[in-house]
Amino acid sequence: MSVKDVSIDPAVPELLEKAENDGLETVWHRFASQQPQCGFGLLGICCRNCVQGPCRIDPFGEGPQKGICGANADLIVARNLLRSATGGAAAHIDHAYEAVEALYQAAVGKAPYEIKDEAKLKAVAGKLGISVDGKDKNTLAREVAEAAFADFANHGAAPMKWLTATAPAERVETWGKLGLLPKNPDREIRTAMHQTSMGVDSDPVNLILATVKMGLVDGYGGLHLATDIQDILFGTPSPVVSDANLGVLDADYVNIIIHGHVPLLSEKVVEWARKLENEAIAAGARGIKLAGICCTGNEVLMRQGVPLATNFLAQELAVTTGAVDAMVVDVQCIMPSLADITACYHTKLITTMPIAKVPGAEHVPFDIEKVDETARQIVRIAIEAYKNRDPEKVRIPGHRSKVVAGFSVEAVVGALAKLNADNPLKPLVDNIANGNILGACGVVGCNNAKVVQDSFHVALVKELLKNNVLVVATGCAAHALGKAGFLTPEATLQYAGDSLKAVLTAVGEAAGLKAPLPPALHMGSCVDNSRIGDLLKALAAYLNVAVKDLPVAASAPEYQHEKAIAIGTWAVALGVFTHLGVVPPVLGSQVVAGALTGETAENLLGGKFYVETDPIAAAQGIIAHIKDKRAKLGI
């Protein structure tokens, strides 16, 4: 295979060559050997929901048009889509639940976490209607955790509290009228699995509505809940300067990579890596370097300044450097192939969660009550492994880019407050109204082997910035922009259109940064898409309009995971025009594809999906949408 054409990240071809020399197979080799991929699967018209199947529909209209039970293409596509969204929501909700459990255990003194952000704790309690008066932080944290548990134990008809407490009121009303308000996240997941099982729902429209509901389950029972609780436990992020790309590894140090999504253990690994520096030095290293992959990487970047190693598609190549002593994984987006790659080097692959084991890895169980011991053990395993590192096999690409991250809503409002203390959103809104900022776009989501790694993220963002569209980013998109140098003040000077540049420079100077704000603001991990939702809610409230009326858009240019399908559906439900750069498996049904990308979604929700696989055309589509919304607002 040609190693040149798979990524725009300069570290990738170097390491891909090394991987091939070392006799290793990577995600790109396997992608090539999967070609051509199954056309039925790509269109979403294959059903395995019962054992009479698999059944598939002939997309050309000549062969079978119905599965054995009578299900047609519309039904099969709609059922498959709901199951995907449910898989994604289940991942986020399980993640959020773990965080709630940790908060509860910490509050009752059973888990060794200190509740770091009392202001956020009080703010969240306030939204939930919990009185904060005279309560110490542990009591209040316990009550907030209990309120979250109550959503999971909701057996009545009331909607999920976390949704009604945090979503815009206009949306709650709209969703309520459509009968889409979720009750108990666990129950909604169960119901969706039931609804999509053989012989239950055969109405594709009803299934599409259930998918939208699942987007709300994800948005509030997953994303928002996880962000709130993690901020309370570990602190709300504020701007931090760090680096991105594999050049952050250092041959003279013990290198530990933290990979996955849930920061409960990785926060402790960071703490213990700092505490055990001396043991690393005693082992002959100069110290310990930590670096992150995927969203655990984003979490520890935002709160601890830990550099980003790389994003989803290059996780195997991180190990191929031969310089990683331990790769510690928790859940989600962990390639099963990692064990094959680590087996070629001295690298220890350490799994930690009971639901995410990998044959060939060492399993060090995460036990919340003994998390300090677990983290200490993991760091010591890395130090031991370092002693076995073969310097002959080490090749660390020299690429690293500066990144500024940590733009929580609180941090953004804090920076703007330097311009207008009484009315922090006013400078931002004024600059949107006068056209200095044309609009904003959240660029989010994954890498996908179907797309040249990071290329869509970067080309899209370049075009948006040139047209004065402010970008906010999360997930592996934020990694991509970080590696490509878009998360820096320098990028504002290089890429932003003149009026956007002037605004970002003025805000940066007023905020005391002595430099412009970056043109793409790193707002966190994928669960932190909730932060983007909160920012939209605040802007809409300030302007006294609905989120669907704002000149904004979202884009997942290179998404791969079911989680992205759930998040995208939530964004559309919120009223956001949501671009997808990879064709979702729905084209086998005009009913489903048409409803999600057309007037049905727009009339009911105000948002819709927009599929475009060319980055420049996608940017133009997003800009046209933003201009249309501006015109409707009369600005």
CA 416 – CA 199 distance, rounded (Å): 55
Q: Is 309 in the site for ligand NFS (CB under 6 A)?
A: no
Longest dimension (CA), the chain: 72
Q: Is 194 in the site for ligand SF4 (CB under 6 A)?
A: no
Q: Which of 106, 181, 404, 526 binds ligand NFS (CB under 6 A)?
A: 526
- The secondary structure of 259-275 as a DSSP string is ESS-HHHHHHHHHHHHH
User: Which residues, 6 or more positions from 102, have their beta carbon under 8 angstroms from its beta carbon?
Assistant: 111, 113, 229, 233, 264, 368
Which does residue 295 touch among ligand SF4, ligand NFS, none (CB within 5 to 8 A, set by kind)?
A: ligand NFS
Residue 261 annotated as lining a ligand binding site: yes
Q: Which of 73, 102, 106, 294 binds ligand NFS (CB under 6 A)?
A: 294
Q: Is 561 in the site for ligand NFS (CB under 6 A)?
A: yes
Q: Is 52 in the site for ligand SF4 (CB under 6 A)?
A: yes
Residue 446 annotated as lining a ligand binding site: yes
Q: Which two tokens stand for residue 38?
A: 């199954």
Q: Which of 83, 400, 563, 625 binds ligand NFS (CB under 6 A)?
A: 563
Residues within window 541-570 making contact with ligand SF4, judged by CB under 6 A? none
- The secondary structure of 364-394 as a DSSP string is ----GGGHHHHHHHHHHHHHHHHTT--GGG-
Q: Is 333 in the site for ligand NFS (CB under 6 A)?
A: yes
Q: Is 446 in the site for ligand NFS (CB under 6 A)?
A: yes
Alpha-helical runs (H) found in 323-474: 338-342, 371-386, 409-417, 425-433, 455-466
Which does residue 67 touch among ligand SF4, ligand NFS, none (CB within 5 to 8 A, set by kind)?
A: ligand SF4
CB 243 within 8 Å of CB 308: yes
Which does residue 49 touch among ligand SF4, ligand NFS, none (CB within 5 to 8 A, set by kind)?
A: ligand SF4
The SS3 call for residue 189 is: helix
Q: Is 139 in the site for ligand SF4 (CB under 6 A)?
A: no
Q: Which of 55, 111, 517, 547 binds ligand SF4 (CB under 6 A)?
A: 55
Distances (CA, A) of 32 to 11, 25, 117, 449: 20, 11, 47, 9
Q: Is 53 in the site for ligand SF4 (CB under 6 A)?
A: yes
CA 168 – CA 102 distance, rounded (Å): 28
Please say which residue, 49 or 525, places its beta carbon nearer to ligand SF4: 49
**Given the rule CB under 6 A, which of 48-56, 224-232, 410-418, 592-600 is the region that contacts ligand SF4?**
48-56
Q: Is 312 in the site for ligand NFS (CB under 6 A)?
A: yes
Q: Is 445 in the site for ligand NFS (CB under 6 A)?
A: yes
Which does residue 71 touch among ligand SF4, ligand NFS, none (CB within 5 to 8 A, set by kind)?
A: ligand SF4
Side-chain-side CA neighbours of residue 289 (13 Å): 22
Residue 344 annotated as lining a ligand binding site: no
Residues within window 463-492 making contact with ligand NFS, judged by CB under 6 A? 475-476
Please say which residue, 72 or 578, places its beta carbon nearer to ligand SF4: 72
Distances (CA, A) of 144 to 90, 154, 492, 615, 622: 21, 15, 40, 43, 39
**Given the rule CB under 6 A, which of 49-57, 139-147, 210-218, 552-560 is the region that contacts ligand SF4?**
49-57
Which does residue 633 touch among ligand NFS, ligand SF4, none (CB within 5 to 8 A, set by kind)?
A: none
CA 241 – CA 215 distance, rounded (Å): 33
State CA 68 to chain mean position distance.
Answer: 38
Q: What's the CA dihedral at 283, 286, 288, 292 to 10 degrees?
A: -130
Please say which residue, 428 or 527, places its beta carbon nearer to ligand NFS: 527
User: Which residues, 6 or more positions from 35, have their beta carbon under 8 angstroms from its beta carbon?
Assistant: none
CB 207 within 8 Å of CB 196: yes
Please say which residue, 386 or 609, places its beta carbon nearer to ligand NFS: 609
Q: Which two tokens stand for residue 600?
A: 């049905």
Q: Is 213 in the site for ligand NFS (CB under 6 A)?
A: no
Please say which residue, 58 or 369, places its beta carbon nearer to ligand SF4: 58
Q: Which of 123, 130, 178, 198 binds ligand SF4 (CB under 6 A)?
A: 198
Count of beta carbons in the 10 Å neighbourhood of residue 178: 14
- The secondary structure of 529-582 as a DSSP string is HHHHHHHHHHHHHHHTS-GGGSSEEEEETT--SHHHHHHHHHHHHHT-EEEESS
Q: Which of 26, 49, 166, 298 binds ligand SF4 (CB under 6 A)?
A: 49
The SS3 call for residue 159 is: coil
CA 138 – CA 115 distance, rounded (Å): 8
Residue nearest to ligand NFS (CB): 446
**Given the rule CB under 6 A, which of 25-33, 206-214, 412-420, 561-569 is the region that contacts ligand NFS?**
561-569
Q: Is 69 in the site for ligand SF4 (CB under 6 A)?
A: yes
Q: What is the binding site for ligand NFS (CB under 6 A)?
A: 261, 294-295, 312, 333, 445-446, 475-476, 525-526, 560-561, 563-564
Residue ranges for the known binding site for [Ni-4Fe-4S] cluster are 261, 295, 333, 446, 476, 526
Residue ranges for the known binding site for [4Fe-4S] cluster are 38, 46-47, 50, 55, 69
Q: What is the binding site for ligand SF4 (CB under 6 A)?
A: 47-50, 52-55, 67-69, 71, 198
